Amino acid sequence: AVRLHRWEAIPVNYFDLLLGSRWEHDSMHGQRPNYEPNDEIDRRRAAVALGHSDLFITDSYTADLCRRSKVADYAPTIVFSTKQADAILEFIRKSA
């Protein structure tokens, strides 16, 4: 599948590529917050979560990165920003 450019066959790599390309775009256009080395780890963690979780709670930039990268087109994972506490609690209540 990967040989035929079906990158989504390996979810962790696919999401890392998807988020990484949007992240680089933001960086080149001055649209991302100050870079911290921890951002590399956060992006990789996001890729793992998107490929294997039902719910992913992250910082606001990464949540917006997921939205703009349209990860919902490729994974059922629900993504929330840590600033969306009420929405997170509502989601958990409905899921119980």
The whole-angstrom separation of Cα 45 and Cα 91 is 21
66/45 Cα distance (integer angstroms): 12
Residue 64: count of CB within 10 angstroms of its CB: 16
pLDDT of residue 50: 94
Using one digit for the tens of pLDDT, what is the confidence trace for 34-51? 777 888 888 899 999 998
pTM of the model as a whole: 0.83
Q: Where are the beta strands (DSSP E) in 17-95?
A: 55-58, 78-81
49-91 pLDDT, tens digit per residue, is 998 999 999 998 899 999 999 999 989 999 999 999 999 999 9
pLDDT for the residue 46: 93
Give the residue among 83, 49, 41, 52 at the shortest CA–CA distance from 66: 49
